[in-house]
Copies of this chain bind each other. A is one copy, B any other.
Amino acid sequence: MIRGLLSVLLVVVAVSVCPAMAKPGKNIPSRGKRIPQTLSRGWGDQLIWAQTYEEALYWARAQNKPLMVIFHLEDCPHSAAMKKAFAEEKNIQKIADEDFIVLNLVYETTDKHLSPDGQYVPRIIFVDPSMTVRADITGRYSNRMYAYEPSDIKLLLSNMEKAKQLLKTEL
């Protein structure tokens, strides 16, 4: 954790990311009527979201579509900004709907391949239907390669196009 903080301080042109994932208990509001949680969590109510990574991988294989995993946190302003940009960009929503399996997580999985350069949010990782994590599809920040900011939305779109070029399955 300390090393994480130091590295953020040392990098001059650092992308804005949040270092940690969800803490337990934060979701629990004081007594009173709660609003049901949605699987979209605001990243696109019209998309069909997978609930878990296992489920998402299954869909990706079965439908032969790439998977897009969005790691974020409800109380991270950088996540919130990216979420807004993502939800409002019609092309992204359309392509995500038609050509991708989508999953958003506020908690890390146990699969280390999903954090090639660390666990931070927001972070977007593509996975080929052959179940290969596309570590080659990166954003524009060398210190946080899978982070995106709202101004990177066009790059994200072109990365989605890249992810649609499926790897050949050797099987």
Interface flag for A54 (CB, 8 Å): yes
Partner of A24, one of B16, B24, B62, B105: B62
Partner of A51, one of B1, B24, B58, B106: B106
Determine the interface band of chain A, counting residues with CB < 8 A from chain B.
35 or more
Query: Among A35-43, A146-154, A161-169, which stretch is in contact with chain B?
Result: A35-43
Q: Considering the complex, give the chain B residue whose CB is closest to the CB of A52.
A: B52
Partner of A25, one of B1, B25, B62: B62
Complex alpha-carbon distance, A16 and B53, angstroms: 11
Interface flag for A22 (CB, 8 Å): yes
Whole-angstrom distance between the Cβ of A160 and the nearest chain B Cβ: 19
Whole-angstrom distance between the Cβ of A129 and the nearest chain B Cβ: 11
State whether A107 touches B40 (Cβ < 8 A).
no
B residues within 8 A CB of A3?
A: 20-21
Interface flag for A126 (CB, 8 Å): no
Q: Give me 17 other A-B pairs in contact (C-beta within 8 A), A12-B109, A17-B61 excluded.
A: A12-B110, A12-B111, A15-B53, A15-B54, A22-B55, A24-B62, A25-B62, A36-B40, A36-B45, A37-B48, A38-B39, A51-B52, A52-B53, A52-B107, A54-B107, A54-B109, A54-B110
